[in-house]
Structure 1
Amino acid sequence: MELEHYTGSVQENHQQASEEAQSFGTFEAWIGGSSHPAESGETFETRDPVVDEPILSVPRCDEVDVDAAVEAAQDAFENEWGNATPAERSEALLEWVSVLRDNIEELAILESLDVGKPLSYAKGEVNKGIDFIEYYANICRAEGGKEIAAANDAHIYTRREPYGVVGCVTPWNYPLVLTSWKIGPALAAGNAVVLKPAEQSPLTALRIAELSEGVLPDGVFNVVPGFGQEAGAPLTGHSDVQKVSFTGEDVTGEEVMKSAASNITPVTLELGGKSPFVVFPDADIEQAAETVAGSITYNTGQSCDACSRALVHEDVRDEFVEKLVEEMESHTIGDTLAEGTTFGPLVSEAQYEKVTSYLELGVEEGATLATGGNAVEAEGTDDGWFVEPAVFVDADNDMRIAQEEIFGPVETVITFSDYDEAIELANDVEFGLAAGVATENGSLAHRAAADIDAGSVWVNKFYGRTVTGSPFGGFKRSGMGRECSRDTLNAYTQEKTVHVPIDQDPTL
């Protein structure tokens, strides 16, 4: 199915896509290699944010279902997957990758409907997610322990062993990509997984689980859709879950740490951000404006690493703002299933209310709204959660719009006068996930990258691009641990050291 497949009105396109989605699979919990309703029989709707209509209903899992999924995962780990060789795991995962690639079109439709992404963007993200699973399927063959030459009378070596059952909790903004960041290395390392996807966007996780049937051993990959307190908390605090990986907001991350702490369970946390993009006076201003606008508008600004604070040297501030406003106003807002749409709705009514409240707050705090911020309608519907991309100027870094994660298409421009002030402003937030630097001076770029407290720093362009093999994660309240890299495999294994004595005078 290509983009031209949808040629009707907004309502017609989304009704058609919703009906198609219902035919793709069962979309029930996936436990032990088969579909299951919630033990309670309860369900909840996942809704299309473009038209604010239900797509379909999925099981509302709770602690009982989580227990069943963890038990299935434990059995799969102990009886088959944990004892499989890296080559065997690699072959199974690569076969799954092949199946997923055969179903890219339907996965893209599900992703687009669930989150409100333009369909072309959703397809790109599905491809990217599958790439990460393939990456870990390949590199796990080369991983292993090491020999330690510490003594002449002993052979000392290490083994990397999987934890067992890994509990993963993912957010709604990039459902398949962020799922792949977790399950790719966890499964490749030899663990079995229980995944709790965000309640706003569970469809692709449920579908890829169904597509693992007959490829992955039963119980190796389990999915329990549901709400945080009902399914997420029982998973992260489960005594038989040996490793937890969570992506979401920082306050929830605190609760995940507390929940895991009772069992001394290691955690990986990728949390929020309030990322700066520092524009020095020698920068290519047009390119810098394009980069900032692209970051804060992609996925409607619902990205943890979006550069939501543009820190601009006072000498180039006016030029930068002019270019930025042009870029923000250039988007085509509308039906995400229609070709040419570049900007979709916010994911839900709750997110819409949050973003619009910050737009009001920014004005109250004394910032000037240079463009956008108005509620808009996609042609053909007045029920979606659309808001124009917005730019605040005349802002101070101590304003709430500059300190708190809005998670929407809202850029705040703050000026600085010299290098030290730029770095002070960049670091003067509780988060440290990502940052950008715009300059034509290589030495300045390296110096700023070293001085900014962030887990990733992009220079000039390609802001926010994550590629297989490059570590991604945050400083400060943005979390702990790294995803996407080769070393991530180690985060899903434990290291064991073996000491074997060697007789110094062997007799034959």
Structure 2
Amino acid sequence: MSGKRSAWNGNQQTSLTDPSKKEKGDRVLTTKVETFNNYINGEWREAVSKKTFSDINPANTEDIIGAFQASNEQDIKLAIEAANKAFPEWARTAPSKRAAILNKAADILEQNADKYASELTREEGKHVTDAKNEVLRSAQTLRFYAIEGQSYSGETFPNDDPNMKVSTEREPLGVVSVITPWNFPISIPSRKIAPALIMGNTVVFKPSSDTPLIAIRLVEALHQAGIPKGVINLVTGKASDVGDLLVTHPAIKAVTFTGSTSAGEDIHKKSSFTTRTQMELGGKNPMIVMDDADIDLAATLTVNGGFSLSGQACTGTSRVIVLEKVKEAFLEKLIAKTRALKIGNGFEEGVKIGPLANERQMKNVLNYIGIGESEGADLVYGGRRLTEGDYSLGYFIQPAIFTNVHPTMRIAKEEIFGPVIAIIGVNSYEEAIEIANDVEYGLSASIVTNNLKLAHQFTKDIQAGTVKVNRTTTGNLMNAPFGGLKKSSTSTFRESGRAGLEFFTQVKTVYVGY
């Protein structure tokens, strides 16, 4: 990345000297890097404290991506005030004009897809092809809501008074806090910000501190597309420094959050009685493999669902509940397919598994692998950190496969968020369903079978918001609702699709006599 000053976002080169902890964002930096600013009230500005933090490549911790504003509550107050001031005018703006801005921003993302994909791979670690697909999907998301938002309206109701009309109107809420994770750092924000904006809300956006650059690129696109000042505001920094005010400030009318269940529960407790919340949280997603299944397909789906994005997907396959009759054949194929996966830097050809997102994440995954071994599960493949050669500067872990896992073990109950799969043997479909449902999560689930009747029964029996047959647990259509059950969500408002617009509007019923 060049250090050339931007004419419109105020980026500049700086020298960083932070305490060395070898953690992304807390490392001694003695090289010149580009500094990126917050975006508040249509301007790129430094944090009030003038402090910054660093963003580091998880595949090569010597590669410093940039310095970003270490904001505090003063910055959040400024952003909320700007959004609150901008709300009345934006709410009155014609839907077609809002849509035009989203479409133009989509054009900008598409035009810069290669550049943004490269930056995304550097800061998050996923393969550059996957990164480009994410950027392009985000552009499609903006276009989807630009269209759908122009036809999302109220209803007219028949009544017995011939001289009266009764109808509903959908109105925007006001200022919305958007708090997003690092694993899909432009796709998830897009599916929250686009419906919020098209319905007339204003936004304060706090991205993950592990992936602030791609978030800035999304906001830059909206800025270049001509969005009025104050309508969208971006503030970077640690959640511990800014998170509470994003939830508790009286001007915040809604909070949309994707992240861990523990963080979601904290937000839910701190939000006021009148603050609307939408949360997509953790998962412990099962795949059931029946004895009539295509075993090669089942192994492929498991690898794709469990190890893509290095297992760092909320819908990732983390439990495989397999009929004992085919367990050994399935395990043999699964190990063979896993062994064939190339681990490495996301810019290398053929790489399927990149680094973990940060050192904290890597240590957590390694800790769970140790827990699995101590609990008595059999680690039949992988599970070790890679430190030799090109791996020495990154957070690389071999994907791990455990078998002979008991359903009560922690690795079968708790979200790991890494490339770790627990295989549980069962003797019947009924036993498989009981185990699949016996966790606190209910995000995504899949079954592999050629029995159509059984597949249909599974869609009824499983406790999950996303249910699949002969497909991976990962992935969802942008035009279909997405969300979980139990502790995977607040089970209130869904994201994605036309249903994703509902959260960002309130209904007013109007009676007009004439």
Shared fold per TM-score greater than 0.5: yes
User: Is the CA contact (8 Å cut-off) linking 1:334 and 1:377 kept in structure 2?
Assistant: no
2:249 to 238, 241, 250: 238
Change in 2 beyond 3 A, CA 1:470/1:57: same
Deviation at 1:488, TM superposition (A): 1.2
Instruction: Say whether 1:290 aligns with 2:300.
Output: yes
Residue type at the aligned position of 2:246 = L
CA distance in 1, matches of 2:320, 2:33: 42
For 1:92, the equivalent position in structure 2 comes to: 101
Deviation at 1:213, TM superposition (A): 2.1
Instruction: Say whether 1:482 aligns with 2:491.
Output: no
For 2:421, the equivalent position in structure 1 comes to: 411
For 1:305, the equivalent position in structure 2 comes to: 315
Residue type at the aligned position of 2:301 = T
CA distance in 1, matches of 2:406, 2:507: 47
User: Is the CA contact (8 Å cut-off) linking 2:305 and 2:472 kept in structure 1?
Assistant: no
For 1:361, the equivalent position in structure 2 comes to: 371
User: Is the CA contact (8 Å cut-off) linking 1:335 and 1:378 kept in structure 2?
Assistant: no
How many pairs are equivalent?
480
1:138 to 127, 142, 147: 147
Summarize deviations over 1:390-443 as a string: whole Å, max 9, x none.
100000110000000000000000011112111100100000000011111111
Deviation at 1:263, TM superposition (A): 4.9
User: Is the CA contact (8 Å cut-off) linking 2:138 and 2:190 kept in structure 1?
Assistant: yes
Q: Secondary structure at the match of 2:203?
A: strand
User: Is the CA contact (8 Å cut-off) linking 2:455 and 2:469 kept in structure 1?
Assistant: yes
2:87 to 77, 83, 98: 77
Change in 2 beyond 3 A, CA 1:184/1:128: same
For 1:11, the equivalent position in structure 2 comes to: none
CA distance in 2, matches of 1:379, 1:450: 50
Instruction: Say whether 1:46 aligns with 2:55.
Output: yes
For 2:138, the equivalent position in structure 1 comes to: 129
Deviation at 1:150, TM superposition (A): 3.1
Residue type at the aligned position of 1:237 = T
Change in 2 beyond 3 A, CA 1:445/1:381: closer
Q: Any runs of at least 4 consecutive aligned residues in structure 1 with deviations exceeding 4 A, and if so which? A: none
CA distance in 1, matches of 2:76, 2:273: 17
For 1:228, the equivalent position in structure 2 comes to: 239
CA distance in 2, matches of 1:34, 1:324: 52
CA distance in 2, matches of 1:469, 1:335: 32
Instruction: Say whether 1:112 aligns with 2:104.
Output: no
For 2:382, the equivalent position in structure 1 comes to: 372
2:267 to 245, 253, 256: 256
Moved more, 40-49 or 370-379: 370-379
Residue type at the aligned position of 2:207 = P
**What fraction of aligned residue pairs are identical, expressed as a percent?**
38
Deviation at 1:264, TM superposition (A): 2.1
Instruction: Say whether 1:492 aligns with 2:501.
Output: no
Deviation at 1:380, TM superposition (A): 2.8
Summarize deviations over 1:317-365 as a string: whole Å, max 9, x none.
0111111111211111112112222211101111111000111110110
CA distance in 1, matches of 2:221, 2:471: 36
For 2:37, the equivalent position in structure 1 comes to: 28
User: Is the CA contact (8 Å cut-off) linking 2:309 and 2:353 kept in structure 1?
Assistant: yes
CA distance in 2, matches of 1:317, 1:164: 53
Residue type at the aligned position of 1:34 = E
Name stretches of at least 5 consecutive residues in structure 2 with no aligned partner. 2-28
Q: Secondary structure at the match of 2:223?
A: coil
User: Is the CA contact (8 Å cut-off) linking 2:302 and 2:472 kept in structure 1?
Assistant: no
Residue type at the aligned position of 1:268 = Q
Deviation at 1:203, TM superposition (A): 0.9
Summarize deviations over 1:146-197 as a string: whole Å, max 9, x none.
1011332421000000001110100111101111111011111111111100
User: Is the CA contact (8 Å cut-off) linking 1:236 and 1:256 kept in structure 2?
Assistant: yes
Q: Secondary structure at the match of 1:429?
A: coil
For 1:160, the equivalent position in structure 2 comes to: 170
CA distance in 1, matches of 2:131, 2:33: 18
Q: Secondary structure at the match of 1:109?
A: helix
User: Is the CA contact (8 Å cut-off) linking 1:34 and 1:213 kept in structure 2?
Assistant: no
Summarize deviations over 1:439-498 as a string: whole Å, max 9, x none.
111111111111100000111025422112111111000012211110111110000000
User: Is the CA contact (8 Å cut-off) linking 1:287 and 1:461 kept in structure 2?
Assistant: no
Summarize deviations over 1:202-247 as a string: whole Å, max 9, x none.
1111122122224211111111011112112211111101111000
Indicate the structure whose relative CO is greater, using CA pairs within 8 Å and at least 6 residues apart.
1
Residue type at the aligned position of 1:320 = F
For 2:13, the equivalent position in structure 1 comes to: none
User: Is the CA contact (8 Å cut-off) linking 2:102 and 2:222 kept in structure 1?
Assistant: no
1:443 to 449, 453, 457: 453
Q: TM-score normalized by structure 2?
A: 0.91
Summarize deviations over 1:22-42 as a string: whole Å, max 9, x none.
67xx62111111211110111
User: Is the CA contact (8 Å cut-off) linking 1:328 and 1:390 kept in structure 2?
Assistant: no
Q: Secondary structure at the match of 2:205?
A: strand
CA distance in 2, matches of 1:282, 1:289: 14
Instruction: Say whether 1:171 aligns with 2:147.
Output: no
Q: TM-score normalized by structure 1?
A: 0.92
1:345 to 335, 339, 355: 355
For 2:206, the equivalent position in structure 1 comes to: 196
Residue type at the aligned position of 2:438 = D
CA distance in 2, matches of 1:106, 1:222: 23
Name stretches of at least 5 consecutive residues in structure 1 with no aligned partner. 2-17, 503-508
Q: Secondary structure at the match of 1:151?
A: coil
For 1:395, the equivalent position in structure 2 comes to: 405
CA distance in 2, matches of 1:183, 1:30: 15
CA distance in 1, matches of 2:456, 2:229: 49
Deviation at 1:125, TM superposition (A): 1.2
CA distance in 2, matches of 1:350, 1:334: 19
Deviation at 1:74, TM superposition (A): 1.4
CA distance in 2, matches of 1:132, 1:223: 19
Deviation at 1:378, TM superposition (A): 6.8
